[in-house]
A = this chain, B = another copy of it.
Amino acid sequence: MKRTGYIGELNGTHLGQQVTLQGWAGRRRDLGGLIFIELRDRSGVVQVEVEPDSPAFADADTVRSEDVLEVQGLFRERPEGQRKGGLADYEVVASGVTVLSRAKTPPFELDKGGEVAEDIRLKYRYLDLRRPEMTRNLLLRSKAVAAVTAFLDRAGFVNVETPMLTKSTPEGARDFLVPSRLNPGEFYALPQSPQLFKQLLMIAGVDRYYQLARCFRDEDLRADRQPDFTQLDMEMSFVTQDDVLEVQEQLLAHVFREVLGEELPLPFPRLSYHEAMDRYGSDKPDLRFDHAFVDVTDLFAGGGFQAFASAGAVKVLAAPELTRKQIDELERAAKQNGAKGLAWLRREGEGFTGGISKFVTPEVAAALLERTGVAAGGTLLFAAGEWKAAVTALGAVRLALRDLFDLAAGGPKFHVSWVVDFPQLEWDDQTGRWTYMHHPFTAPHPEDVALFGTERQGEIRAQAYDLVLNGYEVGGGSIRIHDPAVQAQMFAAIGFSEEQAREQFGFFMDALGYGTPPHGGIAWGFDRLVMVMAGASSIREVIAFPKNNRGADLMAQAPAPVSPAQLAEVGVQVVAGEE
């Protein structure tokens, strides 16, 4: 029998009709001689009632949790007192119940999936995905894919697949290697990103490119990383940074509208990297709430409080009234981010008590009050030191404060912004030289190019931009260098000889010389974006079959040993390790 439709499609217009539904048995209750079965498909759940004299009763009486059923019956309203809105207003009085497939007893109760150990959920992922939260995440992700594709296709972007068996690309993470059987002793690398290929597509004249690209980085897996992940990768020719940002804003607004019915206010605010760090202590500030830092360097300069008197920067964050325990917790966040401690003051009347109050003169107190506007009983939290270190530590305190007081709840559900004007170069203390902040193909601001090779090259601003959503970096990109002369300056700035550059990126350097249009692009961390859209707490919740933090697929049991014959064919052998 063909089903009437998905369960979630049933509504008042079906009342009084015979319906055919297919799905999984959820909870079953036997009550007053009747059998009640929750019938579930990906779209919803409806109650099936089987009366003792129903021809379906004998079959229904064999039903156990997670059996696959086909149910025929009358669609009707539930008794008045039992209606709970939506589908729960209705029920199906079964005239036929067919068990299409029996289920063994599941290893965990699906109702309690959220509380079950993640290892069990991952091992039986096909059961875990039956839980409505998980089904909803998969459907949301799929809708996002369709929305992105439709928008970019209409906007003239060309979907191009780039190679999966390729060579190291310039992200600088560790590659996954694939031995080549046809070329013994040689290896492919799985792509860390399609960066070079998308730039080559611009050189090829594709003009606008996109791809939902699987990317691979063999890193130690921190909490929320996967060895492979998905980028929405885009590149455009003959554009400025403004052109790229404008298309991106339209695209993201389209996706939110289509998938969530949410309108994102356009344009997104733009903060420079310096502003984001200076005010929020992060290059991906959560701007659902403000709590910006106030600069008070001048108030303490040359004063009696040694730690502040000679600091490059003294920043203050105004907080509500805090208990000692809360201050300790915030101090931990500061310390984990490089601070020695967390100086604080509590406002009392028109002055301050506690913390560093003995160093606060009445004049400084008055200025602090005026600049911060801290409420009576409220707390001021300080970070001082070298500018970047100070703002970074206080940025961590700001996020800890958010979590403590649920500050984000008061703001918009989604806040999107751009962070722009990243530094082109970063000083690397470990190697004692300059390195690139994004990647070596990022273009500098034209007016800053002259600073290459000077003492001030640390001030060069890149034409690079990050897309920030609720405190997550969900996208990043740049205008690229298309002029081989500038590319040479960039390599020189990071101490790359021409030979080194050629060895690492030879074919790409070659290509640059054959007529490269001005171009730029961006890549979205698609898993993370969908995670935030779904309100999930981990990207594993929006990936159908993720790996655990040992890189293992607990369901398919991968990775696994392979036979010596298989290894011999691809010309490698395992090196006996120190177990």
A contacts, CB < 8 Å to B? 3, 6, 22-24, 40-42, 66-68, 70, 100-104, 106, 124-130, 135, 138-139, 141-143, 145-146, 149-150, 153, 156-167, 174-190, 196-197, 200-201, 203-207, 214, 216, 218, 220-221, 227-228, 230, 237-238, 482-483, 506-507, 511, 513-518, 543-545, 547, 550-553, 555-562, 566-575, 577
Complex contacts, A145 vs chain B, CB 8 Å:
149, 153, 159
**11 sample A-B contacts, Cβ–Cβ < 8 Å, listed by A number:** A23-B205, A68-B516, A104-B514, A165-B547, A177-B567, A180-B551, A185-B561, A187-B562, A188-B559, A197-B544, A218-B570
Contact indicator A160/B187 (Cβ below 8 Å)? no
Contact indicator A575/B568 (Cβ below 8 Å)? yes
A548 to chain B, nearest CB (A): 10
Contact indicator A553/B166 (Cβ below 8 Å)? yes
A6 to chain B, nearest CB (A): 8
Question: In the complex, what residue of chain B is closest to A221 when comparing beta carbons?
Answer: B182
Question: In the complex, what residue of chain B is closest to A570 when comparing beta carbons?
Answer: B177
Given A103-B513, A149-B146, A517-B100, does the pair A158, B138 have CB atoms closer than 8 Å? yes
Complex contacts, A67 vs chain B, CB 8 Å:
515
Complex contacts, A196 vs chain B, CB 8 Å:
556
Contact indicator A159/B142 (Cβ below 8 Å)? yes
Contact indicator B577/A185 (Cβ below 8 Å)? yes
Q: A164-B228, A182-B550, A183-B559 are in contact. List 14 more A-B contacts (CB 8 A).
A: A40-B205, A42-B158, A128-B204, A129-B204, A130-B204, A145-B153, A161-B214, A163-B547, A166-B556, A177-B567, A178-B559, A183-B550, A204-B544, A214-B214
Complex contacts, A205 vs chain B, CB 8 Å:
23-24, 40-42, 129-130, 135
Question: In the complex, what residue of chain B is closest to A183 when comparing beta carbons?
Answer: B559
Complex contacts, A187 vs chain B, CB 8 Å:
559-562
Q: What are the 6 closest A-B residue pairs judged by CB atoms, nearest first? A: A103-B515, A146-B153, A129-B204, A186-B559, A180-B559, A167-B558
Contact indicator B190/A178 (Cβ below 8 Å)? yes
Partner of A557, one of B42, B139, B507: B507
Partner of A569, one of B174, B511, B543, B558: B174
Complex contacts, A126 vs chain B, CB 8 Å:
200-201, 203-204, 511, 514
A196 to chain B, nearest CB (A): 8
Question: In the complex, what residue of chain B is closest to A483 when comparing beta carbons?
Answer: B101
Given A159-B145, A543-B161, A553-B167, does the pair A138, B206 have CB atoms closer than 8 Å? yes
Contact indicator A127/B180 (Cβ below 8 Å)? no
A381 to chain B, nearest CB (A): 39
Contact indicator A163/B556 (Cβ below 8 Å)? yes
CA of A390 to CA of B225, assembled, Å:
58
Partner of A517, one of B68, B178, B181, B189: B68
Given A100-B517, A214-B161, A556-B163, does the pair A181, B185 have CB atoms closer than 8 Å? no
Complex contacts, A569 vs chain B, CB 8 Å:
174
Contact indicator A181/B174 (Cβ below 8 Å)? yes
Question: In the complex, what residue of chain B is closest to A514 when comparing beta carbons?
Answer: B103
Contact indicator A517/B227 (Cβ below 8 Å)? no
Question: In the complex, what residue of chain B is closest to A157 when comparing beta carbons?
Answer: B142
Question: In the complex, what residue of chain B is closest to A175 when comparing beta carbons?
Answer: B566
Complex contacts, A138 vs chain B, CB 8 Å:
158, 160, 206
CA of A127 to CA of B127, assembled, Å:
50
Contact indicator A167/B557 (Cβ below 8 Å)? yes
Complex contacts, A24 vs chain B, CB 8 Å:
205, 515
Complex contacts, A186 vs chain B, CB 8 Å:
559-561
Contact indicator B574/A571 (Cβ below 8 Å)? yes
Partner of A150, one of B22, B129, B150, B185: B150
CA of A3 to CA of B227, assembled, Å:
41
Complex contacts, A102 vs chain B, CB 8 Å:
513, 515
Question: In the complex, what residue of chain B is closest to A237 when comparing beta carbons?
Answer: B22
Partner of A513, one of B104, B190, B568: B104
CA of A129 to CA of B515, assembled, Å:
13
A524 to chain B, nearest CB (A): 15
Of the candidates A106, A189, A574, the one having the most CB atoms from chain B within 10 angstroms of its own CB is A574
Contact indicator A101/B177 (Cβ below 8 Å)? no
Contact indicator B207/A41 (Cβ below 8 Å)? yes
Complex contacts, A201 vs chain B, CB 8 Å:
126, 129, 544
Partner of A127, one of B143, B153, B188, B514: B514
CA of A5 to CA of B54, assembled, Å:
69
A571 to chain B, nearest CB (A): 5
Partner of A161, one of B128, B506, B544, B566: B544
Complex contacts, A552 vs chain B, CB 8 Å:
183
Question: In the complex, what residue of chain B is closest to A573 when comparing beta carbons?
Answer: B575
Question: In the complex, what residue of chain B is closest to A189 when comparing beta carbons?
Answer: B558
CA of A577 to CA of B3, assembled, Å:
60
Of the candidates A40, A160, A163, A196, the one having the most CB atoms from chain B within 10 angstroms of its own CB is A163
CA of A129 to CA of B572, assembled, Å:
36
Given A129-B206, A557-B167, does the pair A230, B161 have CB atoms closer than 8 Å? yes
A390 to chain B, nearest CB (A): 37
Complex contacts, A149 vs chain B, CB 8 Å:
145-146, 149-150
Contact indicator B101/A507 (Cβ below 8 Å)? no
